[in-house]
């Protein structure tokens, strides 16, 4: 039946119809406005990204008692055989052969006969259990039988050794990112910045969250993590574009050619420049004739003159120097001090490990080689002996080089004379400062994998007091001697960029 | 009235239970005694039987971080491989002594030494050797050099040496000395020279 006819038939109601319609419209508008207000004021949904060897996935976090909570069943389901059953207020979870028992409203759990503090109450809803996000770092290793690393603030969980590391180096006016595994970030540009968001990739922070390049066109890049993603932002003074190569392992950020032509202040791009990825472990580019190896690293790609490597890190503590002091902490302090000393002498320096990250010897060598630094310095600390030991590589029994490729285990071979002369210079400077010093060769990785002058400095106390290793004066005495010697060998090592 | 057969059965069962208890107690004592001897950490002694021979051992000294040669007379078997094993065992017996200049962890031992032609030696050490080894570049390379240099100096023709732990490859000895590759004997000889000079 047409509306007009109905309206005509019900004449008393028709008289009030316009007023009712107006009221209904006003109510609807108010409801829409209120919803919009509520939605705009609501906090964004929080996520947990889980990275494992098996799969990568994302889960939504819930808020309880002002904390972030996550469903434990949902975390474990993609990783293996898992089942749960409810018995009254108890919740029993089976993951492969591991059993855990939780109780609704209680902050403790029992896994394989051991009690764990969850750091907050356990909640049970519809047969599914939720635990505080913070508790994953303690309870998951028990279920999974391996280490996990939780970045709680950013909602990122790394199960096992899955992390992807990266380096960034400026080649001419192009910024080259090299990753240890293929990546496929979401890329967005805005005036003055290019943003790469890694949601699916277990990308981890570089040694320093802010990387500066001293370039007018691309002065800096920064790394941050938020809500289950890692974001690398490249700051630029001109429009830039990103391109992929090397099977997704390399991203090159370069000036947008049309815009670059208009930017007269910006330096022109070097047409011959090409991105160069890190060598594959096992094979690395031949450094060429040994006679030409005195300055093998000179070229347009060198960003840092020196790479300083704080040895050990993460679960690798190095030597336990005392009840409260481990080697990995001393090496970081020494590395920071050495960077300061080198940079004060005008030598650009990158500290390879500036946090408690765990890098393998291969990764350290790959990063050092990709940066084409003039010298690589590994720092160690020891409780035995006195003074300082300077090491160069003891090369293993050589494997056959294949064509233009050199064996990874003896990649240092062509640089060994340069490494030894640098070690001798450092030792001479130590002696000049009356520090007890020895120069030795050592079967110490990654010295044999580095394609640059490479030395390791092992610092021991002068006497029997190990606490001297943490004394700023002692650290500076040593790092200043190392920096002075390296600055003195600058011409031999190759001029800085 | 309890039937006579039941009394006899119960009595037999009680005697059997008592006998088994005594046997179990005896077995437990034996097991404890075996465990004690397995974890005995006293220095290993070379075999006393057989003809002795003069060898040169390169002994690490932590005090000044040096390697010193020491002549020793030890009973040596005739087989080339067994001789190499005996050399390593003699070194370890020095290092396991509490007054040793380079103390190794309790229970450190060599499982086997394999000599494979041409010129390859594989030293297989037990897990206690590596697990209890002190960490540090110098202290680890003193151990490695002492072992390799002693074997190569007393066993002509060895060009490269690999060190295994419990029959398996291991990344490092105790966080520093690389165990993933074959050691070049000529390079280790060079290191031994540096360590002997003490400079």
Longest Cα separation, chain A: 113
Q: What percent of chain A has pLDDT over 90?
A: 30
Q: Which pLDDT score is estimated for A6?
A: 32
Closest CA to A407 of A397, A417, A416: A397
What is each CA distance from A176 to A270, A314, A321, B109, B194, in whole angstroms? 14, 27, 39, 51, 42
User: What tens digit of pLDDT does each residue of B128-186 get?
Assistant: 999 999 999 999 999 999 999 999 999 889 999 999 999 999 999 999 999 999 999 99
Cβ pair B178, B165 in contact under 8 A? no
Q: Is A154 on the interface with B (CB under 8 A)?
A: no
Cβ pair A459, A478 in contact under 8 A? yes
Q: Average pLDDT for residues A22-43, to the nearest whole number?
A: 55
User: What tens digit of pLDDT does each residue of A364-387 get?
Assistant: 998 888 888 899 999 999 998 889
Q: Is A269 on the interface with B (CB under 8 A)?
A: no
User: What tens digit of pLDDT does each residue of A296-355 get?
Assistant: 333 445 568 899 999 998 888 999 998 889 999 999 999 999 998 998 888 888 888 877
- Asked if the Cβ–Cβ distance from B177 to A380 is below 8 Å, we say no
Q: Average pLDDT for residues B6-28, to the nearest whole number?
A: 94
Cβ pair A251, A241 in contact under 8 A? no
Q: Is A364 on the interface with B (CB under 8 A)?
A: no
Total-model pTM: 0.55
- Asked if the Cβ–Cβ distance from A443 to B182 is below 8 Å, we say no
At residue A278 the predicted structure's pLDDT band, cuts being 50, 70 and 90, is: very low
- Asked if the Cβ–Cβ distance from B136 to A440 is below 8 Å, we say no
At residue A496 the predicted structure's pLDDT band, cuts being 50, 70 and 90, is: very low
In angstroms, the CA A252 to CA A174 distance is 7
Is the pLDDT score of A27 beyond 80? no
Q: Which pLDDT score is estimated for A186?
A: 84
Residues 294-313 of A with CB under 8 A from B: 312
A447, closest residue in chain B (CA to CA): B178
- Long-range contact pairs involving A169-172 (C-beta distance under 8 Å, separation at least 24): A169/A301, A169/A303, A169/A370, A169/A371, A169/A372, A170/A213, A170/A214, A170/A215, A170/A218, A170/A303, A171/A270, A171/A273, A171/A275, A171/A276, A171/A300, A171/A301, A172/A267, A172/A269, A172/A270, A172/A273, A172/A300
Average per-residue pLDDT in chain A? 79
At residue B198 the predicted structure's pLDDT band, cuts being 50, 70 and 90, is: low
By three-state DSSP, how is residue A176 classified? strand
A427, closest residue in chain B (CA to CA): B199
Render A72-120 in DSSP notation, one character per residue: HHHHHGGGS-EEEEEETTEEEEEETTEEEEEETT-SEEEETTEEEE-SS
Q: Which domains does chain A have, with CATH numbers?
A: 47-159 (3.30.457.10), 166-259 (2.60.40.3470), 283-493 (3.40.630.40)
Q: Which pLDDT score is estimated for A13?
A: 43
- Asked if the Cβ–Cβ distance from B176 to A444 is below 8 Å, we say yes
Q: Which pLDDT score is estimated for A488?
A: 92
Q: Is A431 on the interface with B (CB under 8 A)?
A: no
């Amino acid at each position: 039946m047409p509306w007009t006819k109905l309206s005509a038939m019900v004449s008393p109601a028709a008289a009030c119809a316009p007023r009712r319609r107006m009221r209904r419209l006003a109510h609807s508008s108010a409801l829409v406005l209120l919803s919009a207000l509520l939605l705009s004021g609501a906090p964004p949904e929080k996520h947990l990204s889980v990275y494992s060897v098996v799969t990568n996935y994302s889960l939504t976090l819930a808020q309880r008692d002002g904390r972030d909570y996550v469903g434990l069943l949902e975390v474990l389901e993609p990783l293996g055989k898992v089942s749960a059953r409810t018995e009254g207020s108890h919740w029993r979870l089976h993951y492969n052969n591991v059993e855990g028992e939780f109780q609704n409203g209680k902050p403790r759990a029992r896994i394989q006969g051991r009690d764990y503090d969850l750091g907050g109450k356990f909640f049970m809803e519809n047969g599914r259990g939720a635990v505080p996000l913070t508790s994953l770092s303690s309870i998951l290793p028990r279920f999974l039988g391996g280490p996990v690393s939780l970045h709680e603030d950013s909602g990122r969980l790394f199960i096992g050794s899955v992390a992807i590391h990266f380096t960034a180096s400026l080649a001419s006016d192009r910024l080259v990112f090299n990753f240890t595994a293929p990546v496929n970030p979401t890329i967005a540009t805005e005036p003055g910045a290019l943003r790469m968001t890694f949601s699916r990739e277990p990308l981890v922070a570089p040694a320093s969250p802010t990387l500066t390049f001293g370039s007018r066109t691309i002065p800096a890049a920064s790394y941050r993590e938020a809500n289950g993603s890692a974001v690398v932002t490249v700051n630029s003074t001109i429009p830039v574009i990103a391109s992929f190569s090397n099977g997704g392992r390399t991203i090159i950020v370069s000036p947008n050619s049309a815009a670059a032509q208009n930017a007269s202040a910006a330096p022109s791009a070097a047409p011959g420049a090409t991105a160069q990825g890190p060598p594959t472990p096992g094979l690395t580019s031949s450094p060429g004739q040994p006679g030409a190896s005195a300055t093998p690293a000179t070229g347009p790609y060198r960003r840092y003159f020196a790479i300083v490597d704080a040895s050990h890190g993460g679960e690798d503590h190095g030597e336990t120097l005392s009840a409260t002091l481990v080697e990995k902490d001393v090496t970081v302090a020494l590395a920071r001090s050495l960077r300061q000393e080198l940079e004060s002498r005008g030598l650009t320096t990158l500290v390879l490990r500036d946090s408690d990250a765990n890098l393998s010897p291969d990764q350290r060598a790959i990063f050092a080689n990709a940066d084409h630094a003039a010298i690589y310095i590994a720092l160690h600390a020891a409780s035995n002996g006195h003074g300082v030991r300077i090491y160069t590589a003891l090369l293993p029994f050589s494997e056959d080089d294949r064509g233009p490729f050199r064996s990874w285990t003896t990649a240092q071979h062509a640089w060994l004379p340069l490494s030894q002369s640098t070690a001798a210079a450092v030792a001479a400077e130590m002696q000049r400062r009356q520090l007890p010093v020895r120069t030795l060769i050592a079967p110490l990785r990654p010295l044999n994998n580095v394609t640059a002058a490479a030395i390791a400095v092992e610092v021991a106390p002068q006497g029997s007091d190990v606490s001297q290793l943490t004394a700023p004066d002692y650290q500076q005495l040593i790092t200043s001697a190392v920096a002075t010697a390296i600055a003195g060998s600058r011409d031999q090592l190759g001029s800085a960029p | 009235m309890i039937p006579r057969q039941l009394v006899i059965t119960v009595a037999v069962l009680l005697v059997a239970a008592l006998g088994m208890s005594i046997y179990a107690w005896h077995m437990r004592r034996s097991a404890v005694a075996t465990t004690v001897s397995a974890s005995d950490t006293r220095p290993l002694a070379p075999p006393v039987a057989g003809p002795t021979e003069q060898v040169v051992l390169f002994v690490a000294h932590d005090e000044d971080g040096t390697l010193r040669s020491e002549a020793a007379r030890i009973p040596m078997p005739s087989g080339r491989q067994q001789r190499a094993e005996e050399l390593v065992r003699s070194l370890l017996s020095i290092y396991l002594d509490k007054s040793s200049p380079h103390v190794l962890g309790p229970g450190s031992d060599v499982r086997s030494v394999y000599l494979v032609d041409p010129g390859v030696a594989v030293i297989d050490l037990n897990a206690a050797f590596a697990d209890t080894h002190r960490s540090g570049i110098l202290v680890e390379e003193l151990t490695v050099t002492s072992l390799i240099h002693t074997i190569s100096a007393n066993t002509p023709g060895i060009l490269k040496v690999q060190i295994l732990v419990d029959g398996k490859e291991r990344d490092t000895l105790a966080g520093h000395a690389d165990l993933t590759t074959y050691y070049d004997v000529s390079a280790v000889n060079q290191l031994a020279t540096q360590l002997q000079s003490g400079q």
